[in-house]
C-alpha cells in the first residue's frame, strides 16, 4: 500500500524563479469518482496509470504503475475525459523535499500550482515568498476536477 501526503498551493507567478526547463505532461482520467480517480499520464517517453483514493487531511492512497507508451496515448485519445496539459518544474524545498510547480496550458492556463509531498502530515517545510494561498482541501484545484471544469471556465 502506498500513501501520498501532499500539500498544494497557488503560486505568485512574478515571484517564482522557474528553472529553464521543465517536463511536459499530458494526463487524462478514466474515472472521476471523488472517492477514487484513475489517471493516465505521459511524460516524454514514459507513461503511467495511477489510482488515487479520496483525500483526507492532505493524505490519500496512491498506486502507480508503468504503461506502454502506445497504450497510454490510446487511452488518452479514446477513453479519457478532457486531457490536461502542463509543464512541471522541480525546485528544492530543503530537508530533502522538493516542490513540484505545475504551469497549466490550454483551458487551465494561466493557473500555476505548487505541490510538496511530505513524509508526515505535520512535517515542517519552508514557505518561499512565491507561495500563495493553500488549496490542499479545495477540490476545484484537483487535477481530476480541472479536467471537468477548466480554470478558464470559473467565474
- For the annotated catalytic residues, the residue numbers are 29
Burial environment of residue 11 by CB neighbours within 10 A (0 to 12, 13 to 18, 19 or more): buried
Do the bridges between strand 84-94 and strand 97-104 make them parallel or antiparallel, or are there none, so unpaired? antiparallel
Within 13 Å, how many C-alpha atoms sit on residue 47's CB side? 17
Q: How far is CA 136 from CA 5, 48, 115, 122, 125, in A?
A: 10, 23, 9, 14, 15
Q: Are 108 and 146 in contact (CB under 8 A)?
A: yes
Amino acid at each position: 500500500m502506498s500513501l501520498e501526503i501532499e500539500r498544494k498551493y497557488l503560486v505568485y507567478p512574478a515571484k517564482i524563479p522557474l528553472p529553464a526547463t521543465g517536463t511536459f505532461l499530458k494526463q487524462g482520467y478514466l474515472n472521476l469518482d471523488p472517492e477514487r480517480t484513475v489517471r493516465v499520464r505521459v511524460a516524454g517517453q514514459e507513461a503511467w496509470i495511477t489510482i488515487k483514493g479520496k483525500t483526507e487531511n492532505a493524505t490519500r492512497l496512491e498506486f502507480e504503475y508503468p504503461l506502454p507508451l502506445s497504450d497510454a496515448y490510446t487511452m488518452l485519445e479514446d477513453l479519457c475525459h478532457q486531457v490536461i496539459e502542463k509543464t512541471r518544474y522541480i525546485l528544492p524545498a530543503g530537508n530533502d523535499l522538493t516542490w513540484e510547480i505545475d504551469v497549466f496550458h490550454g483551458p487551465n492556463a494561466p493557473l500555476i500550482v505548487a505541490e510538496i509531498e511530505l513524509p508526515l502530515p505535520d512535517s515542517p517545510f519552508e514557505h518561499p515568498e512565491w507561495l500563495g494561498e493553500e488549496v490542499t482541501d479545495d477540490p476545484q484545484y484537483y487535477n481530476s476536477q480541472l479536467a471537468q471544469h477548466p480554470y478558464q471556465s470559473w467565474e
